[in-house]
């Protein structure tokens, strides 16, 4: 018996990194997973799992999100993983970068939550899991103005949803990872003037001396999605290798 037997889970940005690990962990625990990503090619391989449903989706497109939510109204778990990491401080951030950060990191969660929540409320049960970051209201790493601003908003969004709908059976929690070894991180390191120095800098932030693994974040998401965490709502679980201490 899997921990998520019988549950339908809707996962955004499931093509790689944390989203992919969460989708695979949920599938291995018996869930039916609607795996979405704006890049359909990144979802290749998930078809091999029993219970996987592949759904190309731009989570910033309100009409597309609403249509997908209508097709999968039976989803009792929503995991919001889509995100964008903008670099730079306030003076290096232009209005377009801030808008993009808020659009992809916050507004997309607003759209998916608003679209899938009514069916959860009608059934009297649901779990929403939002991927935030320690770069938020938890701590402020250097040169992450737009990203930290948007992820702080994710924590506020999470708490507000949790507060308003707890009595109706819907839980909402956030996960705030530190630096996790993902394709996105490798892209940022590779684009640095000195990729080796960039990697050393990322490692130096972790008190454990290593990067996090996407599957470690997926383990926390599994707990939040399952019935074992039915008394947990409004939480922000920090899993960062001591980065925020």
Write the pLDDT tens digit of every residue in 94-144: 999 999 999 999 999 999 999 999 999 999 999 999 999 999 999 999 999
Check if 49 is active-site: no
235 domain-assigned: yes
121 domain-assigned: yes
| Residue 34, Cβ density class (10 Å: 0-12 exposed, 13-18 middle, ≥19 buried) | buried
* Both structure tokens of 108: 């997309």
* Both structure tokens of 1: 């018996």
Given the residues 49, 72, 84, 147, select the one marked as catalytic: 147
Distances (CA, A) of 100 to 59, 81, 192, 197: 13, 16, 21, 28
1 domain-assigned: no
194 domain-assigned: no
225 domain-assigned: yes
Intra-chain end-to-end CA distance of the chain, in Å: 38
DSSP code, position 96: H
Using pLDDT thresholds of 50, 70 and 90, give the confidence band for residue 21.
very high
What CATH number does the domain containing 67 carry? 3.40.50.720
Percent of the chain with pLDDT over 70: 100
Q: In 29-90, which residue ranges form alpha helices assigned H by DSSP?
A: 62-71
| Residue 19, Cβ density class (10 Å: 0-12 exposed, 13-18 middle, ≥19 buried) | buried
Q: What pLDDT does residue 186 have?
A: 78
Q: List strand residue ranges (DSSP E) for 22-71, in order.
A: 32-37, 52-56
202 domain-assigned: no
Write the pLDDT tens digit of every residue in 40-63: 999 999 999 999 999 999 999 999
In angstroms, the CA 15 to CA 149 distance is 25
Number of domains the chain is built from: 1
Residue 193 confidence (pLDDT) above 80: no
143 domain-assigned: yes
Whole-number mean pLDDT of the chain?
95
State the residue range of the domain holding 109: 8-179+213-239
In angstroms, the CA 26 to CA 10 distance is 10
How many residues can be counted in the chain? 245
In angstroms, the CA 183 to CA 228 distance is 31
189 domain-assigned: no
Residue 203 confidence (pLDDT) above 90: no
In angstroms, the CA 26 to CA 15 distance is 14
Write the pLDDT tens digit of every residue in 142-156: 999 999 999 999 999
């Amino acid at each position: 018996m899997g921990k998520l037997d019988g549950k339908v889970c809707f996962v955004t940005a499931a093509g790689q990194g944390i989203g992919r690990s969460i989708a695979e962990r949920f599938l291995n625990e018996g869930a039916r997973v609607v795996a979405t990503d704006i890049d359909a090619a990144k979802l290749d391989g998930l078809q091999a799992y029993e219970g996987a449903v592949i759904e190309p989706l731009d989570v910033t497109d309100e009409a597309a999100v609403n249509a997908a939510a209508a097709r999968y109204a039976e989803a009792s778990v929503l995991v919001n993983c889509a995100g964008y990491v903008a670099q730079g401080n306030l003076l290096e951030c232009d209005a377009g970068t801030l808008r993009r950060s808020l659009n992809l990191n916050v507004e997309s969660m607003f759209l998916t939550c608003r679209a899938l929540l009514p069916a959860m409320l009608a059934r009297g049960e649901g779990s929403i899991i939002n991927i935030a970051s320690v770069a938020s209201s938890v701590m402020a790493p250097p040169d992450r103005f737009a990203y930290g601003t948007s992820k702080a908003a994710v924590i506020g969004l999470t708490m507000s949803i949790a507060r308003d709908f707890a009595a109706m059976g819907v839980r909402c929690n956030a996960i705030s990872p530190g630096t996790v070894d993902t394709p996105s991180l490798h892209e940022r390191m590779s684009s640095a003037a000195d990729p080796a120095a960039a990697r050393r800098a990322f490692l130096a932030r972790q008190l454990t001396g290593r990067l996090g693994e996407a599957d470690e974040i997926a383990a926390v998401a599994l707990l939040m999605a399952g019935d074992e965490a039915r008394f947990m709502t409004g939480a922000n679980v920090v899993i960062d290798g001591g980065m925020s201490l």
